[in-house]
């Protein structure tokens, strides 16, 4: 009897260990700690569900049934619902303002990659703060500053989070076109001058500005207009429906189930490139979830397939 118990316990340990070990290394890798034992238990369960989801998805990928892979990344302790709620903070109507419209040049090349032209700076990490809109804004401004002035200085998201209160709500969300308006009026410090903190704070902007912005330009809500803008102007700020990207790893995201609805756009990002890979047209999107998410911080998503709302909100700044 005693032997049997020991044997059963050993068996249990062997089967339970990998999941526990995986969980322990996940927590260590991503610096996770939880408020209580109950929360830790709940998170462990969610984590296991996500591991299962990733394994199932990647087996389908191996079988040629999916176009992209998933990974057990730092968001693997969140349910899809929690992840969506984290994204969806302020997706209300865009404030009324006079907008300049992009004029199509119809001279965009077949493929373009602004990273090769040194107009895209390093991927940043917004942390658990709904400031995606500020990162999309700085990304577009950094791009124009590199293209027009050959200046590659990272710009301050924290200033937008803390100071741009006319239209935007810091960690509770915001919008890129109105953020360009803020920069037109108040300028923008560098990342070094006003570093990122991932939480709302008091405005501490220093005088002076790295960039002088003349206007924000709205691009017609089609993927062909977006291609024209990315192909001829530079990286473009866009909004997407980002819920399905929680566990994205690599490959061209192409799923007809991804919503293409203006009312569901919940994440601001930056289109930096487009092209064709093995016959599939794609966009390359710079995200602000750190380099340890997706393809070194980037998402590759199918183009001209109305994927996840890409092309429904497109904007860029014009420097003075």
The separation between CA 195 and the C-alpha centre of its own chain, rounded to angstroms, equals 19
Decide: 90 and 169 in contact? Cβ < 8 Å.
yes
d(CA 108, CA 219): 14
Under the binding rule (CB under 6 A), the answer on residue 252 touching ligand NAG is yes
Q: Per rule CB under 6 A, is residue 278 in the interface with ligand NAG?
A: yes
Rounded CA-CA distance 274/286 in Å is 12
**Toward ligand NAG, which CB reaches closer, 108 or 252?**
252
User: Which candidate in 171, 287, 308, 314 is catalytic?
Assistant: 287
Nearer to ligand NAG, 231 or 251 (CB): 251
Among 234, 251, 268, 294, binds ligand NAG (CB under 6 A): 251
**Contact call for residue 277 and ligand NAG (CB under 6 A):** yes
171: annotated active-site residue: no
Q: How far is CA 268 from CA 66, 233, 308, in A?
A: 25, 19, 12
Per rule CB under 6 A, count of chain residues that contact ligand NAG: 5
Alpha-carbon distance of 286 to 240, in angstroms, equals 12
SS (H, E, C) 167-178: CCCHHHCCCHHH
In angstroms, give the least distance from the CB of 146 to ligand NAG. 9
Can you say how many angstroms the Cα of residue 199 is from the centroid of all Cα atoms in its chain?
17
Could you give the C-alpha distances from 284 to 136, 261, 264, in angstroms and in order? 14, 20, 21
Q: Given the complex with ligand NAG, which of 20 and 296 has the nearer CB atom?
A: 296
User: Which residues ranging from 122 to 161 are in contact with ligand NAG (CB under 6 A)?
Assistant: 150
Of these residues, 57, 102, 186, 267, which one is catalytic? 267
278 belongs to the catalytic site: no
Buried/exposed code over 265-290 (b: 16+ C-beta within 10 A; e: otherwise): bbbbbbbbbbbeeeebbbbbbbbbbb
Task: Return the number of the residue (152 or 260) whose C-beta is nearest ligand NAG.
Answer: 152
149 is catalytic: no
- Residue 299 engages ligand NAG in binding (rule: CB under 6 A): no
Minimum distance of ligand NAG from residue 228's CB (angstroms): 25
Q: CB of residue 195 vs ligand NAG: minimum separation in angstroms?
A: 23
In the complex, the residues that contact ligand NAG under the rule CB under 6 A are 150, 251-252, 277-278
Positions marked active-site: 132, 267, 287
């Amino acid at each position: 009897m005693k032997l049997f118990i020991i044997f059963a316990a050993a068996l249990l340990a062997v089967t339970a260990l990998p999941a526990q070990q995986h969980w322990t290394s996940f927590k260590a890798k991503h610096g996770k700690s939880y408020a209580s034992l109950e929360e830790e238990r709940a998170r462990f369960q969610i984590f296991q569900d996500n591991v299962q989801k990733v394994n199932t998805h990647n087996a389908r990928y191996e079988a040629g049934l999916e176009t992209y892979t998933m990974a057990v990344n730092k968001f693997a302790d969140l349910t899809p619902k929690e992840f969506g709620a984290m994204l969806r903070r302020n997706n209300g109507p865009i404030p009324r303002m006079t907008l300049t419209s992009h004029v199509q040049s119809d001279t965009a090349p077949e493929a373009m990659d602004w990273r090769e032209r040194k107009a895209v700076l390093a991927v940043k990490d917004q942390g658990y703060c709904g400031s995606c809109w500020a990162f999309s804004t700085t990304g577009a401004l950094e791009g124009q500053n590199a293209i027009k002035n050959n200046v590659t200085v990272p710009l301050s998201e924290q200033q937008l989070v803390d100071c741009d209160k006319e239209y935007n709500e810091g960690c509770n969300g915001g919008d890129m076109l109105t953020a360009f308006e803020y920069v037109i009026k108040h300028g923008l410090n560098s990342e070094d001058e006003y570093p990122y903190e991932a939480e709302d704070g008091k405005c501490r902007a220093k005088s002076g500005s790295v960039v002088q912005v003349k206007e924000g330009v709205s691009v017609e809500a089609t993927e062909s207009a977006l291609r024209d803008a990315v192909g001829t102007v530079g990286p473009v700020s866009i909004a997407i429906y980002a819920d399905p990207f929680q566990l994205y790893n690599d490959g061209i995201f192409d799923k007809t189930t991804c919503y293409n609805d203006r009312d569901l756009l919940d994440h601001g990002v930056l289109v930096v490139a487009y092209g064709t890979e093995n016959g599939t047209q794609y966009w390359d999107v710079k995200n602000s979830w750190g380099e340890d998410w997706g393809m070194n911080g980037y998402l590759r998503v199918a183009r001209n397939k109305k994927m996840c709302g890409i092309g429904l909100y497109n904007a860029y700044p014009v420097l003075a």
